[in-house]
A and B are shown apart, each in its own frame.
Chain A
Amino acid sequence: MTGNEALARGAYEAGVHFASAYPGTPSTEILENLAKYKEVYSEWAPNEKVGMEAASGASIMGARALTTMKHVGLNVAADPFFTMAYIGVNGGLVIINADDPGMHSSQNEQDNRYYAPHAKVPMLEPSDSEECRIFMHKAYEISEEFDTPVLLRTTTRVNHSKSLVNLEDRKEVTIREYKKDKLKNVMTPGHAQLRHPVVEERLESLRHYNNASSLNKVENNTDNLGIITSGISYTYAKEVFGENASYLKLGMTYPIPYELIQEFAKDKREIIVIEENEPYLEKEIKAMGIPCTGREVLPVCGELNPEIIREAFFGGEKKEMIVLESKSPTRPPVLCAGCPHRGFFNALKMDKDIIASGDIGCYTLGAMDPINVTDTVICMGASISAGTGMQKVLDMQGDTRKKVFSFIGDSTFFHSGITGLVNSIYNKIPLVTVIMDNRTTGMTGHQENPGTGKTLMGEDAGNVDIPLLVRSLGIKEDNIKVINPYFQDEAKAVIKEAKTATEPFVIITTEPCALIKEVQILRRNSFVEIDQEKCRKCKTCVRTGCPAIYIKDGSVFIDREMCNGCTLCYQVCPFDAIEKKGDLVHA
């Protein structure tokens, strides 16, 4: 099982009743897998804050509740997270937080272990899939025994690595009785002042628990070298040092088990701390007065691996690199063949007066060659709100030639884009918001969202109508344009109109992601071909950046397997050298 499958299995076995989350790499598959167990109610929430609050509500009502998110998701959910630390739980409440060292699919590599001491919440860190499963059981036990939310922190290589897992049956847990308890559940200043000392006492009890907890493992092989580590770093350390070191592998990394660390370190000649990114454990251990090595030799940036550890501690000659004359070409991610986003970007990419405020999703790739439209991407939902600030500055400068366009997908709009649009309406900022509705949450692998009409568990859902929502917020009817982004003439006309708008303006593109299964079936026999006799090799079609178009031996071809007939290249070809074939959907 992958770590994510095992976390889902662990939640199921631990008797979890309720789970709510927003997708985010590398955490997405936890809820996708949990949804396969019909005993658990699992839902996609519009964002991580909603997911955290929904799970908090379920916990208050006595259910065992779960929420999951990627590292930056906890920033979004930090507000309820910190307050739930004061309120505590009725049914167990576990927050799975998946960090992404190395930023495989993220905008930063923040080390969320610091959230545990910041929020004063206990933290568990599994090293492999079996621990993912077992730690879920433990997390619920701790949560209910100590009346606290529990943070279960993973990293990409734990979430997305597979290792062997033992299975247990589901433990049926009765939903606890709900009793009104205002002092505990209503966080007014007066009540919170009473709760804070309780939180501090709880931390001391948890520290005491952690000093003797079976979550931590000591492997004594030698007195010469002791390694203190946790999470995936433990597997790397074992790979490099094997039986030549003793290990203190911490499964519970907050509150720090001082006594356990003292006991482990006292007879070791040397202590090394192996951890990824920030020196979280190392600083604590140094503060205890125990000399140790870690960050001096291990990098703070990027993902750790056995090789880096080997080089850091054993140095030695570097392996000779093999350099071929044949260079593998660079291959950054690109928008897929037939992607509707390409259609819209293509319609405005030549317009240098448009400043594009981008967002998180597939359309982030609008920043890449050859589209090169996007000027800035900050975080989920920032396109519109940042766009209001950008447009306001243009207005302050009296610049009427330039115009800010904000680009946001359907799922990201529901996540945290709506409030930005409200800001543009409220403060009368004539921003152009482009909602690229591709009927799915694309980048994380096609999750349902409030606009798709289906729930995570596959049932028919309430469906938020984006044009209606935008209209009801206050965008005037004339300033809302719903278009097919593949059709360049239509898109260009709307862009032209939007550029001169003096009021907030919204463009909604409605074509679905080309990778959605139903769309693929629909477009199976939809494609275009190049007439080699007519082709003048001007590369206009190549410059759309469609990965189905390629040049070999000087001639331009379209890969039949990839093409699904979006007709963008057909529309841009100045020599009518591209022919429509099959049953074109976008004829």
Chain B
Amino acid sequence: MRKEANILFVGVGGQGTISASNLLSAALIELGYDVKMSEVHGMAQRGGSVSTQVRYGMSVNSPLIEKGTADYIVSFEKSESGRWLNYLRADGTIISSLHEIRPYSVNMGKEVYPEEILLEMENRGFKVISVDANVKAIELGNAKAANMILLGILAKELGLEEDILRNLIRQYFKPALQEVNLKALEEGFSRAEVQTV
């Protein structure tokens, strides 16, 4: 497993970036790593752009990731990773949902939705793993489980044991939600190396 990493979870307020990073942090703590995580609450949560940062290793000082030092960007919405691209290392990986949330400015034609953004990132030499997380999560029974698909892909990339996360899902989620989240996690693990843009 990777001994240290900086991970940015980005998305749109309400998509579950905090719960995914909570679960990852809990797993990393269980494995004995020093972990720091930083999240943003309040007004930004209301449908705006949001981010959560997780840093782990033997010893971590600052909870904030500096530009050019993120190993992974996990994006819950197709265009959001673009906003944070300058935080990614040149050899970093983008794990992105293909789910699109179009803001008002796009709907009114004042801005254009960047349909090809993931392809462009790949062409720039970044590793991009994309997944239609929302469609798959709805198939599995709950759109909100999309975050576990993305977490599964990230965990596989990090070399994190699936069982640790499975146990945490059983601890953290209500019984009614455990199965769909476990299935979503499994889906993520199985997608990790298959899917490209």
Chain A positions within 8 Å of B, measured between CB atoms, are: 2, 25-26, 28-29, 104-105, 128, 156-157, 160-164, 232, 235-236, 238-239, 305-307, 310, 319, 321-322, 324-336, 362, 364-365, 369-370, 443-445, 539, 542-543, 545, 547, 549-552, 561
Contacts and interface: CB of A to CB of B under 8 A. Distances in A.
B171 to A, nearest CB: 16
A334 B40 contact: no
Nearest to A238: B61
A247 to B, nearest CB: 11
A324 B41 contact: no
B195 interface: no
B79 to A, nearest CB: 5
Interface stretch (B112-120, B151-159, B162-170, B183-191): B112-120
Interface in B22-58: 22, 25, 29, 34-49
A327 B120 CA distance: 11
B107 A328 contact: no
Contacts of A334: 46-48, 103-104
B128 to A, nearest CB: 12
Main secondary structure of the interface of A (DSSP, over half): loop
Contacts of B177: none
Given A319-B86, A443-B42, A561-B138, 14 more contacts: A104-B44, A156-B40, A161-B63, A162-B39, A162-B63, A164-B34, A236-B64, A321-B86, A328-B79, A328-B82, A328-B83, A331-B103, A332-B103, A445-B41
B104 A370 contact: yes
B46 A319 contact: no
Interface residues of B, number: 59
Interface in B103-152: 103-108, 111-117, 120-121, 124, 134, 138, 143
A478 B34 CA distance: 63
B66 A336 contact: no
A163 B85 contact: no
B82 A163 contact: no
A327 B66 contact: no
Interface of B: 12-14, 22, 25, 29, 34-49, 60-64, 66-68, 79-83, 85-86, 100-108, 111-117, 120-121, 124, 134, 138, 143
A310 B68 CA distance: 13
A164 B33 CA distance: 10
13 contacts: A157-B64, A305-B64, A306-B62, A322-B85, A324-B85, A324-B124, A326-B117, A326-B120, A331-B12, A334-B48, A335-B46, A364-B43, A547-B103
B101 A547 contact: yes
B70 to A, nearest CB: 12
B43 A331 contact: no
Contacts of A235: 61-63
Contacts, number: 178
Given A235-B61, A324-B124, A542-B108, A26 B41 contact: yes
Contact of B103 (A105, A163, A329, A543): A329
B82 A324 contact: yes
Contacts of B60: 163
Contact of A161 (B34, B38, B102): B38
B129 to A, nearest CB: 17
A163 B134 CA distance: 31
Contacts of B112: 327, 329
Contact of B43 (A105, A238, A319, A329): A105
Given A334-B104, A547-B101, A236 B62 contact: yes
A329 B105 contact: yes
Given A236-B62, A238-B62, A369-B104, A326 B46 contact: no
Given A328-B79, A328-B114, A163 B124 contact: no
Contacts of A369: 104-105
A29 B66 CA distance: 27
Nearest to B142: A561
Given A326-B120, A329-B106, A330-B103, A365 B64 contact: no
